[in-house]
Chain A
Amino acid sequence: MASSVREMGGEHRVKDAAEPRREAFWGEDDAGWGLAEDEGHLPVWTGESMETEAIGRHEGRESFFARLRSSARYLRIVLLVGLAAGAAWFASRHVTMSSSALHSAPSTSETQSAVVQGTDAEAANTTTLQVDVHGDVRHPGLVTLQEGARVRDAIRAAGGFLHAADAADVNQAALVWDGEEIDIPAATAVDAASQPQSGVQDVGLALAAASPSEHEVSTTSRDGTGGRARKHALTAGQKININTADLETLETLPGVGPKRAAAILAYRQAHGPFRDLESLRHVKGIGEKTLAKWKDLITFGAPGDASSAGRQAP
């Protein structure tokens, strides 16, 4: 933040350096910018005047009311800080509440200059994302981020890593999409993955069993954007949201191997979400026959439409 006591420190020190024997900062008779009071003339009913008045009337005996009045001098600071903080808090709450309604709205390309200029309400109407961060973070849950945020920002917004070693397993530079779910694996995830726990299975096992259960599957996938873990709700008959699916999920499509899945991800990252089946034809290696096979297997929801990475209910 640009606000700074340093600014004042600088001004003061500059003046001190120019005039080492200066006694008072505020002592000049023409002090202030029009509203500030002079030191020699106490403002009416400010803290000083109230205290003086109280002392004068009660001859130095501080009654309850005088003490109450003397504490009122701090009320101005409390009110000032409270007003600013309250307004900002209310606005941040509003972002959290409204972003759930906005999360499906695609970003427009005309907001670049608005972001750079960063001003006015109508110019910056699509600048927030909402992602769900959980796993090895301090405060798992929904976090709201600025457009263009990266995994690192999402983790920070969720309170940071629970263990410092977790950072080694996550590509913090990857960009996040609105509506994405990010699962931070624990540093001991490799050991834990070899021992299936209740409700947590490996993605391959789940696919082989084609279990209709709604168990969530944890995987530490490394997709094209880097190693980032996500959860998949694997339910029989689900469709894949092509705009949110990660590498492993894409590989479950017929005719898709790691290379083609990576190509889809790369194209999606470079050009944004796919709009329809035809837009997938721009990806190298995908033709009409492939698309015909995928017709009933994929959906084209906006990145924020799916709460899980790539899977949607039919």
Chain B
Amino acid sequence: MTRTRLHAWAIVAFLAGEWSRYVWGWRAVGAAAATVAVLAVGCLVWYRDRRSLLVTAASLACGIVVGTVWAARQPAHPSAPPGVRDVIAGEVQSVKVSHRRTEIMVAVRREGEDAHRCHYQALVFVERGPRVDAGQWVEADGAFVASDRAPTAMDIMSPLELFDGRVRVLHRAPSLGERVTSWMASGMEDVSPADEREPIHLALSMVFGDTQGDLPQGVSSDFLAAGVTHLLVASGSNVGFALDMAAIPWQHLFGRACSRQRRVAYGIYALCVVWGFALVCGFQLAVLRAACGATYSIAAGICGRRVHGYTVLWSSAWMAGVLDPGDLLTPSMLLSFYAAFAVCEAGALWHRTRTGRWERAVEARACVTHRVRRMGASLARAFIITAVVDAYMVPVLWWMFQQWTPYGALSTAILEPTVEVLMPVIVLWSLMAGIAHAWPWPPITWCADGMSRLGCAAMSAVLWFVHCVASWHGSLRSLVPVSFAGACALVLGLVAVAHARVPQRHG
């Protein structure tokens, strides 16, 4: 067994032990251990390598220990049985208003009169109550309800407790991320020539994610229908962008990190940037996963090693599992992991497919024709990779949301590079607006005004394009529900197509 496979296998064993112990208790640990043991014995027979068996046992044991510690610190299930009055408090994830009652998804972090710590998701049913928005902290008073519905695959992976009662909004001081984004938004609104809140909030959402729900519903639904909702969510690329921006002053001041000391210094600086950005983003799950991956990559870079996409993916899963095992298999985290996997797959598939002609064409003579061809080749490459990523995403989105956006690959291929270009513009815009807000010297105000006009025009163009794509016929299609097994089968089918090999004919 190669080192990478052993690495991945050890992480799987660790996460299986930790998650099953933390979320479902000792009985689940037994089942997980039996499954892992069978697989490990199979590996032993296949590879004739005792090392894998030892690594599996050690990883599983470590996972169980860590899961036990987590279970003692933050229980993953309510302490009160169904029907008994209880009080829970947590952050609102989403709100759905139906005909008779409001359903509030709450990430519960405190429970009981003593407000002891806990970590689980609850769906709170409320007949009447105050208006509640995502991101707010609420306290619910009522009782847990036993569900009579057969548990689904998602119920098992991400348990959801049902709670019936009344809620009241808890007034908490805004977090650092909320304060930063609010300050930037107010500064940008101040220098905006017209009252253009929509482009400003869109610009900030592209950098930090739309955590506070500032964007109008129409804009969000347009992005959903155009298949580019990920542009409004902070993810791995945002972490990479933060590193890119942070690397500019570092390289100007200290040059490239050639020696070991400089690599260490730059690594520490990069880690501060990554985790600072994650803090500003409010540790959204996708950002947390990306920050974990970035940390591993940076640490490897400090040690002078190279790591590739799959290794980063496995390592980020391990780190996220250690830091937050309760959310390891929640829909957001699953989507983040799977999207990263799909991107790795698309990159690998493209790498195997290309012949080198693309690169030669790209590096050809720098005349206008060749530049146009180069741009076309880049666009085609982006479209093909995005199409493959979207193809991989179909089973998961089908299973989770029963939706499909046929034009998602096209709009992503066009908007991705556009947003990459616009990111520095947004940063300059917010910086100039902040400076002009603090020091209204005329030249600075003019620059801020110019940046504001440019930024608003660019964001309006993005909005227009997204609206156009969203308005195309059949841009958002509903699908019949598919089971977890069906989705897994489709994923396996796609992987088989991507990796299938035809036996070589000899002679």
Which residues in A have some Cβ–Cβ distance to B below 8 Å?
1-15, 17-22, 25-28, 30-37, 39, 43-49, 51, 70, 73-74, 76-77, 79-81, 83-85, 87-89, 91-92, 94-95, 98, 109-110, 112-125, 127-128, 138-139, 144-146, 148, 152-153, 156-161, 172, 269-272
Q: Is the CB of A36 within 8 A of B235?
A: no
Whether B504 contacts A45 by the Cβ 8 Å rule is yes
Contacting residues, chain B, for A11 (C-beta < 8 A): 236, 240, 290, 293, 297, 309, 312, 340, 343-344
Closest Cβ–Cβ distance, residue A56 to chain B (whole Å): 14
Shortest beta-carbon distance, B481 to chain A, in Å? 4
In angstroms, Cα B419 to Cα A125, docked, is 38
- Could you tell me if B100 and A270 are in contact, using CB atoms closer than 8 angstroms? yes
Q: In the complex where A80-B388, A92-B478 touch, is A156 in contact with B225 (Cβ < 8 A)?
A: yes
- 20 example contacts (A-B, Cβ-Cβ < 8 A) are as follows A1-B230, A2-B230, A3-B412, A8-B344, A10-B241, A18-B267, A18-B301, A25-B309, A27-B306, A33-B5, A36-B499, A47-B355, A48-B355, A51-B355, A76-B500, A84-B494, A87-B395, A123-B481, A146-B478, A156-B225
Contact B353 A77 (CB under 8 A): yes
Segment of B17-25, B179-187, B426-434, B465-473 engaged in the interface with chain A: B465-473
The residues of B that contact A89 with a CB separation of less than 8 Å are: 406
Chain B: minimal CB distance from A191 (Å): 26
Greatest chain B CB density within 10 A among A18, A110, A115, A139 is at A18
Report the nearest B residue to A117, measured CB to CB.
B154
Q: With a CB–CB cut-off of 8 A, which chain A residues contact B340?
A: 7-8, 11
- Bound CA span A94–B479, Å: 8
Contact partners of A20 in chain B: CB under 8 A: 256-257
A125-B391 contact in complex given A11-B309, A36-B348, A47-B352, C-beta closer than 8 Å = no
Q: Point out the residue from B274, B306, B393 that lies within 8 Å of A19, measured CB to CB.
A: B306
**B interface, over-half SS:** helix
Once the chains are docked, how many angstroms separate the CA of A116 from the CA of B97?
Answer: 12
Interface status of B335 (Cβ within 8 A of chain A): yes
B392 touching A77 by the CB < 8 A rule? no
B261 interfacial contact with A, CB 8 Å: no
Closest to A120 in B: B152
Stretch touching chain A among B29-37, B59-67, B111-119, B482-490:
B482-490
The B369-394 residues at the A interface (CB cut-off 8 A) are: 382, 384-394
CB distance from A149 to the nearest CB of B (A): 9
Chain A residues within 8 Å of B300, by CB: 18-19
Task: Verify B306–A22 contact, CB threshold 8 A.
Answer: yes
Closest Cβ of chain A: how far from B246's Cβ, in Å? 8
0/1 per residue, B456-479, Cβ < 8 Å to A?
A: 000000000001001111111111
Q: How far is the CA of A14 from the CA of B343 in the complex (A)?
A: 15
- Smallest CB-CB separation from A155: which chain B residue? B471
> Which 6 pairs show the lowest CB-CB distances between chains A and B?
A10-B236, A18-B301, A160-B471, A6-B237, A13-B240, A8-B343
Residues of B within 8 A of A118 (CB): 154, 331, 400-402
Given A46-B501, A271-B100, CB of A13 within 8 Å of CB of B394? no
Q: Is B38 an interface residue (CB 8 A)?
A: no
Name the B residues within 8 Å of A128 (CB-CB).
478
Give 1 or 0 for each of B295-330: 1 = CB within 8 Å of chain A CB.
001101110001111101010000000000000000
CA of A15 to CA of B420, assembled, Å: 17
B243 within 8 A of A: yes
A174 to B176, CA, bound (A): 37
Alpha-carbon distance A4/B416, docked complex (angstroms): 8
CA distance A271 to B100 in the complex (A): 6
**B228 on interface, CB distance cutoff 8 Å:** yes
CB-defined interface of B347-362 with A at 8 Å, one 1/0 digit per residue?
1110111010000000
CB nearest neighbor in B for A121: B481
Asked if B473 contacts A87 (CB within 8 A), the reply is: no
Option from A95, A148, A270 in Cβ contact (under 8 Å) with B478: A95
| CB-based contact A47/B477 at 8 Å | no
Cβ–Cβ contact B473 & A138, under 8 A: yes
Q: CA–CA, A19 to B238, complex, Å?
A: 18
CB pair B480–A98 under 8 Å, yes or no, is: yes
Residues of chain A lying within 8 A (CB to CB) of residue B55? none
* Contact yes or no, A18 B4, CB < 8 A: no
Min C-beta distance of B235 to chain A, whole Å: 6
Residues of B near any A CB (own CB < 8 A) = 2-5, 8, 94, 96, 98-100, 103, 105, 123, 125, 147, 149-150, 152-155, 158, 160, 162, 218, 221-222, 225, 227-231, 233, 235-241, 243-244, 247, 256-257, 267, 270, 274, 290, 293-294, 297-298, 300-302, 306-310, 312, 314, 331, 335-336, 339-340, 342-344, 346-349, 351-353, 355, 382, 384-395, 397-406, 408, 412-413, 416, 419-420, 467, 470-484, 490, 493-495, 497-505
Is the pair B155, A117 in contact by a Cβ cutoff of 8 Å? Answer: yes
**Partner of A76 from B5, B243, B497 at Cβ < 8 Å:** B497
Q: With the chains together, A43 CA to B236 CA distance in Å?
A: 31
Q: A3-B342, A5-B343, A84-B392 are in contact. Are A10 and B240 (CB under 8 A)?
A: yes
A34 and B5 contacting across the interface, CB-CB below 8 Å = yes
Docked CA distance A189–B500 (Å): 59
CA distance A153 to B221 in the complex (A): 8
- The answer on a CB contact under 8 Å between B342 and A18 is no
When distances are taken between beta carbons in the complex, the residues of chain A under 8 Å from B503 are 44-45
A79 touches B473 (CB 8 A): no
Additional 9 contacts, C-beta under 8 A, given A3-B386, A8-B309: A3-B392, A4-B339, A10-B237, A11-B309, A17-B244, A20-B256, A91-B479, A112-B123, A114-B149
Contact across chains for A28 and B308 when beta carbons are under 8 A apart: yes
- CB-defined contacts of B346 to chain A, threshold 8 Å: 5, 8
Contact B105 A83 (CB under 8 A): no
- Among A1, A26, A48, A146, point to the contact of B390 (Cβ < 8 A): A1
**Minimum C-beta distance from B155 to chain A (A):** 7
* A6-B230, A156-B476 known; A18-B297 Cβ under 8 A: yes
Contact B479 A3 (CB under 8 A): no
Please state if A13 and B237 are interface contacts (CB–CB under 8 Å): yes
Residue of A nearest to B93 (CB): A116
Chain B: minimal CB distance from A141 (Å): 9
The CA of A15 and the CA of B308, in the complex, are separated in Å by 8
CA distance A47 to B393 in the complex (A): 25
Contact call A15/B105, Cβ cutoff below 8 A = no
Which residues of chain A are near B103, meaning CB under 8 Å?
A: 112-113, 116
B353 touches A74 (CB 8 A): yes
A9 to B231, CA, bound (A): 13
Cβ-defined contact, A25 with B308, below 8 A: yes
B residues less than 8 Å from A30 (CB atoms): 2-5
Question: Which residue among A36, A47, A139 has the maximum number of chain B CB atoms within 10 Å of its CB?
Answer: A36
Residue contact B394 to A119, C-beta cutoff 8 Å = no
Q: Give the one of A43, A153, A160 with max B CB within 10 A.
A: A160
Closest B residue by C-beta to A99: B478
A148 to chain B, nearest CB (A): 7
* Residues in chain B near residue A148, CB distance under 8 A: 96, 98
Q: How far is the CB of B501 from chain A (nearest CB, A)?
A: 6
CB distance from B354 to the nearest CB of A (A): 9
CA–CA, A24 to B308, complex, Å? 9
What chain A residues lie within 8 Å of B256 (beta carbons)? Answer: 20-21
